[in-house]
Structures are given as structure tokens and as C-alpha cells.
Amino acid sequence: MSVQVNTDVAPRHTLSVLVSHNLNAFSRIIGIFSGKGFEIDSISLGPEADPGQARITLTTSGDEKVIEQICKLLHNVVDVIKVTDLTHKKSIARELALVKVVTNPNNRSDIMMIAQAFRSKVVDISGEKLAFEVTGQSDKIDAFIDVLKPYGITEVARTGSVALKREFQNTN
């Protein structure tokens, strides 16, 4: 079996942006993307180990030239400390999703088996619905949602990707 890849689709990149922890940094970064017409697939902001800093993880699409331009523009933002394109580096990336699905006595055990296969957790339960927490790479989250769609998903909330450069480098 062969799989064809659409070469017209720009590759997805994950950028890790270390910033001074203030709302101006976040709004300035959003302004760069909206002002230049670049798309943001997902964006996450959280405090860093240093209380004065925060890390913004964003995913965007574009060829190498576009990503290089984005990185240069980000470096020019006053509150940006460091920009790292994690796309071609060994990195750790995770996403979290909460997925609410309709259940009944006939399908509840099937849904629970699916959830177990994806290592998701039940976080809310009622007579008619189950809510799951699932974490992993975005393709795992997409697959979990796709498998549950036939049962009737009522709500989905996703965090977007968070990522860090992997420190362990296997030399073998």
C-alpha cells in the first residue's frame, strides 16, 4: 500500500518562544502573525521556571523561507528572549483534549475499551455522557476523536501543542 503526500500543503512547524512574562509579549506576537497574514494552528502560553519568564509554544505552517521570516520577526519583539524552531530538533510535544461523548447501556463498554486503548481518563460521568481526558501528540488526539465520532461527540476542548527541546541525545 502506498500513501501519497500532498506536496502543496506547507509543512507544520513548532516554535518555542521564551518571553518576558507579561501580556504585552503575547499580544505583540499575535500582532506579528495577524499583521503579516501568517496562520497560527495552535498557541499555548504558560509560566516558565523563572517567575519573570513565560514560554509560548505555537504551531504554524510554511516553507523554510516563511518560517525563517517569522523567526526573524519574533526576535525583533521587545519581550522575546529566545526563539527555537523545534521542527527538526529532537523534542517532546504533547497536547491535551477533553472529549465529551454520548453513551447508553449498549455502547458504554465499547467506549470505555476505546478510551483504555488510548490511555485516556474518565473525568466526568453521567447517565448519558462520559467525558475523557486524553494527552499525547496531536495525531493521537485526532485519532481518538475520529474513533469516538460515530458514538456522538458533543464537545471537544483542546489545548494546542506544548513542546520542549529534548535534552537526552542518544549517541548510539
Q: What is the mean pLDDT of residues 19-26?
A: 88
Q: What is the mean pLDDT of residues 56-67?
A: 92
Report pLDDT for 171: 54
* pLDDT at 51 > cutoff 60: yes
Round the average pLDDT of the chain to a whole number and report it: 89
pLDDT tens, residue by residue, 71-94: 999 999 999 999 999 988 888 889
3-state SS of the chain is CCCCCCCCCCCEEEEEEEEECCHHHHHHHHHHHHHHCCCCCEEEEEECCCCCEEEEEEEEECCHHHHHHHHHHHHCCCCEEEEEECCCCCEEEEEEEEEEEECCCCCHHHHHHHHHHCCCEEEEECCCEEEEEEEECHHHHHHHHHHHHHHCEEEEEECCCEEEECCCCCCC
Confidence of residue 4 (pLDDT cuts 50, 70, 90): very low
pLDDT tens, residue by residue, 106-116: 999 999 999 99
pLDDT tens, residue by residue, 109-149: 999 999 999 999 999 999 899 999 999 998 999 999 999 99
How far is 22 from 32, CA to CA, in rounded Å?
A: 17
Delineate the domains of the chain, giving CATH numbers in brackets: 12-85 (3.30.70.260), 92-165 (3.30.70.1150)
Residue found by looking up cell 518555542 in the block: 16
Report pLDDT for 20: 93
Whole-model pTM: value is 0.76
How far is 32 from 72, CA to CA, in rounded Å?
A: 11
